[in-house]
Structure 1
Amino acid sequence: MRLRWSYDRLRSPEIQQCFLYCSLFREDYEFSRKELIEDWIDEGLINESGSRQKAYDKGHCILNRLERNYLLEKIVKSEVRFKMHDVVRDMAIKSIGPEVRYMVKAGMKLTKVPNEHDWAIDLNKVSLMANYISEIPVGFNPKCPSLSTLILAGNRNLSKIPSSFFEGMVGLKVLDLSGTGVEALPDSISNLVNLSALRLRECQRLKYLPSLAKLRALKKLDLFGAGIEVVPQGMEMLVSLEYLDLNCQNLKEIPTGILPSLSSLQYLVVYPSSGITKRKHIEEVARLSKLESLECGKKGIQDFNYLVNKAKDFESLTAYDLRLTTGERNIRDWEYADEHRKVLIAGCEIGEECIVLPDKLEVLKIHTCKTMKNMRSSLNKTVLLENATELRRCSIAYSGGIECLVELDSSSLCCPVLDKLVELKLSNLPDLIVLVRVEGVATPPHIFRNLRELDFSECLGMRKLLPLELLHALQNLEVIRVDNCRQMEEIIVSSDSDDTSSDKFIFPKLKELRLSFLPELKSICSAKGVMVCDSIEVISLVYCSELKRIPLQLPLLENGEPSPPPGLKELVMDAKSKKWWESVVELDQPNAKNILQPFVEFRRWGIWPTKPRANKTPSFSTPQREQSQKCV
């Protein structure tokens, strides 16, 4: 009854239909935000004045509403996913009205398609996803003229589909064969004139598609990871196409002239491996007046810079995912899946030619790059940051030749771009020495002023982390993580002139201080300095055996006695540090150890609630995209 009440409380028929759609998934299926919202758009359940991006934003609001009503469960892993609980799914199936007829046999270990008599003439939606169906019999011809949605995704052994199978499905609008083993689509596909979405993701064996010329209603064609070598015939006739994913590694070339004919296109995915190799292609893309989202990659710096400069002419573009990579492997999927504007630079040798970044960039990731031989540089000397005034997240990993993140002198004051930076993650940078290097100019007051998360791991050349000049700007810092930086000696750099200063280093919003595997760490700040961080929740000190003092200033009660920080949850150390804590480490205030003792926990290696070491391949979690629009 309570679940039914939650469903009825949605009130909006639009939201209720979005909820009922989730019953087509198999039990315990975990889906991403993008996957579910894209499905809703394909079904025509949400539509916002012809704008796919506005429909996507509205989908976020609907999904949030379903979560708030406990109808969808959030699963937090490496990325945020959702699932429908079995009991909720059963209720959803029972709530489907008599005017709609579903056949849902998803994840039921079927080896054959249901018998022909199970395919009722009034069926509207059929889900056979995630089964073991290996064949559809020759001549099998279900008569389902009202069928609008057919999902066969995840039947990996399904290699052939007879032409007769689709002949009785004249009203089919959504066909999902993603993740199947089909090698060729039957010619009867060409006659599905009402088809609006054809999903063929990860059909790696797929080599042949019949002509698509008659599919004038088709709005979405998803060929991500398909095995095709040439574009389907008749694709230039798809005047209603809004979504095209041509990220196919075997695709040899996209003939010039096709892209400009797709006048309704709003979402486009093309990479060097998928046949877009000429500057002519970029010029054609620039002519797509309705394009809102572009995922594209180039292999050379000059071609990438040309793409970025040309992107300024894309009048409707609100989202992009641009790649500069020399590798052939498919690297489309990455962290920050919900961000709008991203650039990835991977596997490149960066030389004297500066890489241009696009306007309004939100996320920059640099991975497995190196500077030219004998060249040492900073990020702002190799990447043109002036345009990236909206940069919020930056991660650099497994890259050589970078000595500092930002180098400032009288001729280069491009740091204002970093004043909106929220997250900075630096990992496996062997040549990194300092975060910021300033010569002949004052440190800009706005640099890093919005930074919330600072994460260093395996930067083996770093000895000192935060210079004093930066501290005034770090008032929004919430997380400091330093892991496996084996030469790290000091977190807050002491003044060279006066090591006896009794400064207070105030971090009003700091919640986590995690220091691990720092065998040379001798001090967190100057000998007489103290850290004031009354918002602290977690302090983790793992294998920092040379550290002799924790400079945490405890807040005082009205009677002047020290007390634990009000939000403190735990003070964590490795199991071998018990003696170190009891007899070596010092705190300044009297009785401070006894006050903190209830929060102390010694843990053995391998049972940490959060990872104590950097992953072999860095991974960065992303909060859900902030929604500014009015939610439904």
Structure 2
Amino acid sequence: MEFIGSILEVIKCFGGPTCTYIDNHRKLEECMNDLREKVNVLNIRRGDLASKKEAELRHRRVVREEVEYWFKAVENENTEMEKIETKFSAVSYFSRARLGKLVRRKIAEVKEIHQQGNFLDGVAIDAPPTRGVKVETKDLEGEYNVKEQIWEYLMGDEVGMIGVCGMGGIGKTTIMKHINNQLLVDSHFDMVIWVTVSKELNIFKLQKDIADSLEESLPDNELQRVARLKHILEGKRYVLILDDVWKRFSLLDVGILEPTVGMGRKVVLTSRSIEVCTSMDCKVVKVKPLSKEESMNLFLDHVGHSVVQDQILKDIVNKIVEQCGGLPLSIVTIAGSMKGVDDICEWRNALIELEEHVKSVKESDIEVFERLKFSYDRLIDPNIQNCFLFCSLYPEDFVIKKVQLIEHWIDEGLLNGLETRQAMHDRGHSILNKLENNCLLERATTYLNEEGVKMHDVLRDMALYIKGHQFMAKAGMQLEELPSEQEWTVSVEKISLMENSILKVPPHIAPNCPHLSTLLLQNCRLRKIPGSFFKHLIGLKVLDLSSNIFVDLPDSISNLKNLNALILFNCLVLKCLPSLAELKALRKLDISFTSIKEVPHGIEMLENLRYLDLRAGNLKELPVGILPMISHIRCLIGDWLHLNGEEVSKLRKLEYVSCSFCDMQELKKYVESVQGKCPTNFKFGVGISFLSLLSHLDRFSPNFKDIRNQVTIVNCDMGRCDDIVVPNDLRSLSIWTCDDFKCLSDFPSFREATDLKICRICECKGIECVVDLSLSSCNALHNIEELYLHELRNLCEVVRGVAVENECTSHAPTPSAIFSSLKQFHMSFCSRVKKLFPVELLQGLQNLEKIRVQQCVQMEEITSEENHKGEGTTFVLPKLKSLELVDLPRLKSICSDGVLIITDSLQNLMIVDCPKVKRIPLSLPLLENGQPSLPPFLNTIRVRPSKSWESMKWDHPDAKDVLSPFVTYL
């Protein structure tokens, strides 16, 4: 080494480049330490800014977009740092200089990003004030006088507390929803707060709901919470609507300031009890039943006006409406159940049934239930009735995710008799539609914006009234202890204790419920279940223990020989299960998102198993030979497991599979073994457990998890083109960090994937073009709808070989038709691309809705025309809604001079940090006088820096003035 060192000293004399090379070689460790220190300092600043960002968000301010971009830049640097550390750990003697050069360059980058993080103007700006939430409403019928009376009290200074009372289903909530929306339009109050209280009053939850509505947080301490809430509300003019109050409580104990005359604070509560309203010093407004005329109008609006064209039928309808007692919920529900019926005999029979329901009933609630039960009875099919009744096991006012509900119906055996699980889900959706159409369920969305349904609280009470002692539904009641053993009666069939705070089950409790078939204990924070608990629950078929915090389950689980479904989803600390060998009836096992390390003992003995979810983070492998022993399985989810391709192919009844293969050869074995006949829904990861990439993939496509028939290939050898096989009905393809991947046109298997809709290519160093027309037609791209290209450092062009169009085979699409179905195009961090689309390609983008190009440092032109001679050319992109150009320092033009793009559907234009762009070639609609008008759907134009907008030129001299009101400077 001394000899080599002497040689290096001599080489220094040969000039600057050589000296730099030697410095990079010799000082690699020193530079690495410097880089680590600077990255650490950068992350400290990131932590400080993240804290500031969270504080600003708590105060309902909006984070600046440049700050968000800075955070993304820091994230990229940390990712790069991990790669450099990997290279450093294995660097050879002759590669040290090259790595040293990279490290020095990275040090400079990190320093620059650190300096950019000095946001002198702060990290956030003021957000427009949130005054409340607009809610969906139904038409009012006959409640106008009540609404006007409430409105008068709200606008006046004489009344602070208003109590809207009336029997269940009479329309109290509907009236207040209309008033809520009207208050949001009116400027009399600063804010409108809507909170649903429900039967089981919980002060802690009520306080949290009010704070959440105001986008504020509260401390855990009880006294501090009250003081904090009072402080938040003090000095504000607001209306607080408390819907569905069942018992009296003190506003001051909650932290709600007492409404006083002239202070601009109003509280409105709705209740079935006039005593509750008077005991809380409310000005009572009573909602009365609808008049006969109003009732008839509402009934006809829902059943159709044609039913009164026949005089005999009209008389029957009149009597049916009379039986509804002027109750809007009864009228709407019964009308829904009779919609589409035109047989007079059926109407006559319906009247007799309805009269029988209410003939001898005296108590008001039960009278309502019996009227509503008429619609339940008309469902006729016992399975559909049971599907409806099952919904009452969820908490009051709970939005039930549709897919989750249908899965529970399947577990209950309510959708049996169908060949496939897909058919069961289709049947489930059909039943949901029927229940919605009959007004027994209402459509809703979850807090994650997923499709759901909701049960009116009166209908829920009616369902529980129907089931009597067979159902024990104490869901969402904030219980801290399990119901006493005496409440677990011999006759009970279904028990729901979900969404409570029951930390433990008493050590010796052994409820005697031989007929209990369903026990729902999800999300109860359970820490321990004693072995005695399941001793007498011999008839149990469905056990849902999801989202609890126990470490293990008692051995007595193994004795539940009638169990059909064992659901342990999201039991994060669950580490092991007792043997399942005796659970011969088990059809569904879900251990996803648990800490289980080994496949449960006896799983190979479960001959009736149809659904298996093995997404447990610590479960690394499935022992060889298990899959063939459960070959009857229809749904297999094992995203974090590398499975054997041939073994998976033996599961001939699979309808849904989501798993990973270790390499392309295993995928090939699987595809060839099934002869291309994959399950109707598959998700395969190759090279890595592909769900570890979900966070990245979601950035590119928010609906990624819902995409069917996808293959994600990560860090695989793709050099042997003819050796690569993908399923024929592939719809989504993602290729990550496959450095020998050159071009989609190289692979015969990809060319024939004509169902392909989504394609992502990310961090592949070898790719120079996406498709090469000189090599093949690449038929698959003709149907592609979304294309994402990310961090392809050697990509030069999206489509190559446009000039040799005439040499293509006769069946090849022309360049203009290659992406004729494309709707979304995203490109980011592709540093060598200079020109994006040739004009020939642009002509075929008739379905394009969004273009986003970000941080492509060499990009000069979005669309180019090599032989353009300056004459005026116009292209129509009829569906383009969003054009986003971000951080393109060399971008000079969107397209050549004289070329215009017609985009009448444009909604969003974003040009950020593109300093050289001087012309926006969008053709605006023209008025009759020749002046430009706004694109009809335009929402916003976002620009940075502001001076770039001032310097931009438009083909029409007045275009800038027309568009300026829509400009937001970032």
TM superposition score normalised by structure 2: 0.55
Partner secondary structure for residue 937 of structure 2: coil
Residue pairs, 1:198-597, within 5 angstroms: 198-251=566-619, 253-270=621-638, 274=641, 277=643, 279=644, 282-312=645-675, 317-326=679-688, 330=692, 335-348=703-716, 350-352=718-720, 355-367=724-736, 369-372=737-740, 377-381=742-746, 384-409=749-774, 412-438=775-801, 441-442=804-805, 444-445=813-814, 446-493=817-864, 495-574=865-944, 576-577=945-946, 579-582=947-950, 584-597=951-964
Q: Distance in 2 between matches of 1:405 and 1:96?
A: 60
Bigger-Rg structure (1/2): 2
Residue pairs, 1:86-165, within 5 angstroms: 88=456, 91-99=459-467, 101-156=470-525, 158-165=526-533
Question: Which stretch of the first structure deviates more once superposed, 289-298 or 321-330?
Answer: 321-330
Question: Which stretch of the first structure deviates more once superposed, 121-130 or 472-481?
Answer: 121-130
Q: Whose strand fraction is larger, Structure 1's or Structure 2's?
A: 1
Deviation for aligned residue 1:343: 0.9
8 Å CA contact retained: 2:667, 2:726: no
Deviation for aligned residue 1:448: 1.1
Q: Distance in 2 between matches of 1:173 and 1:295?
A: 26
Partner secondary structure for residue 941 of structure 2: strand
Q: Distance in 2 between matches of 1:426 and 1:255?
A: 38
Partner secondary structure for residue 377 of structure 1: coil
TM superposition score normalised by structure 1: 0.82
Letter of the structure 2 residue corresponding to residue 137 of structure 1: P
Deviation for aligned residue 1:105: 4.0
8 Å CA contact retained: 1:508, 1:535: yes
Residues 155/97 of structure 1: CA separation in 2 closer, same or farther (3 Å cut): closer
Deviation for aligned residue 1:318: 1.1
Query: CA offsets, 1:470-502, max 9 Å, x none?
Result: 122211111112233333221112x22325132
Q: Distance in 2 between matches of 1:393 and 1:67?
A: 34
8 Å CA contact retained: 2:543, 2:565: yes
Deviation for aligned residue 1:6: 6.3
Q: Which has the higher contact order (CA 8 A, sep 6+)?
A: 1
Query: CA offsets, 1:104-162, max 9 Å, x none?
Result: 44455544322223333333333333444332222211222332222222345x34322
Deviation for aligned residue 1:255: 4.4
Partner secondary structure for residue 307 of structure 1: helix
- RMSD value, Cα: 3.3
Query: CA offsets, 1:77-108, max 9 Å, x none?
Result: 5xx424566x8457535544422644444455
Unaligned runs of 5+ in 1: 605-632
Partner secondary structure for residue 712 of structure 2: strand
Q: Distance in 2 between matches of 1:533 and 1:15?
A: 49
Deviation for aligned residue 1:523: 0.9
Residues 427/118 of structure 1: CA separation in 2 closer, same or farther (3 Å cut): farther
Letter of the structure 2 residue corresponding to residue 323 of structure 1: G
8 Å CA contact retained: 1:67, 1:74: no
Deviation for aligned residue 1:344: 1.4
Question: Which stretch of the first structure deviates more once superposed, 459-468 or 59-68?
Answer: 59-68
Deviation for aligned residue 1:170: 2.4
Unaligned runs of 5+ in 2: 1-168, 170-327, 338-374
Q: Distance in 2 between matches of 1:342 and 1:395?
A: 11
Residue pairs, 1:41-120, within 5 angstroms: 41-47=410-416, 49-60=418-429, 71-75=442-446, 80-82=449-451, 88=456, 91-99=459-467, 101-120=470-489
Q: Distance in 1 between matches of 2:890 and 2:385?
A: 59
Query: CA offsets, 1:598-619, max 9 Å, x none?
Result: 4x23244xxxxxxxxxxxxxxx
Residues 309/28 of structure 1: CA separation in 2 closer, same or farther (3 Å cut): farther
Deviation for aligned residue 1:204: 4.3
Deviation for aligned residue 1:64: 6.6
Q: Distance in 2 between matches of 1:30 and 1:485?
A: 44
Letter of the structure 2 residue corresponding to residue 510 of structure 1: L
Partner secondary structure for residue 476 of structure 1: coil
Deviation for aligned residue 1:240: 2.1
Letter of the structure 2 residue corresponding to residue 461 of structure 1: R
Q: Distance in 2 between matches of 1:534 and 1:198?
A: 54
Q: Structure 1 vs Structure 2: percent identity of aligned residues?
A: 41
Deviation for aligned residue 1:32: 5.5
Count of residue pairs brought into register by the alignment? 583
Q: Distance in 2 between matches of 1:331 and 1:223?
A: 21
Q: Distance in 1 between matches of 2:507 and 2:489?
A: 19
Residues 300/135 of structure 1: CA separation in 2 closer, same or farther (3 Å cut): same
Letter of the structure 1 residue corresponding to residue 670 of structure 2: L
Q: Whose helix fraction is larger, Structure 1's or Structure 2's?
A: 2
Deviation for aligned residue 1:449: 0.9
Q: Which residue of structure 1 lines up, in the alignment, with residue 265 of structure 2?
A: none
Q: Distance in 1 between matches of 2:851 and 2:840?
A: 17
Residues 47/414 of structure 1: CA separation in 2 closer, same or farther (3 Å cut): farther
Q: Distance in 1 between matches of 2:908 and 2:893?
A: 19
Q: Distance in 1 between matches of 2:479 and 2:527?
A: 15
8 Å CA contact retained: 1:351, 1:382: no
Letter of the structure 2 residue corresponding to residue 451 of structure 1: L
Residues 32/363 of structure 1: CA separation in 2 closer, same or farther (3 Å cut): farther
Out of 534, 547, 554, the position equivalent to 1:166 is: 534
Letter of the structure 1 residue corresponding to residue 839 of structure 2: L
Out of 601, 611, 617, the position equivalent to 2:967 is: 601
Q: Which residue of structure 1 lines up, in the alignment, with residue 553 of structure 2?
A: 185
Residues 415/382 of structure 1: CA separation in 2 closer, same or farther (3 Å cut): closer
Q: Distance in 2 between matches of 1:397 and 1:61?
A: 40
8 Å CA contact retained: 2:745, 2:776: no
8 Å CA contact retained: 2:392, 2:464: no
Query: CA offsets, 1:561-619, max 9 Å, x none?
Result: 43322333333334x42x4434x212112422333344x23244xxxxxxxxxxxxxxx
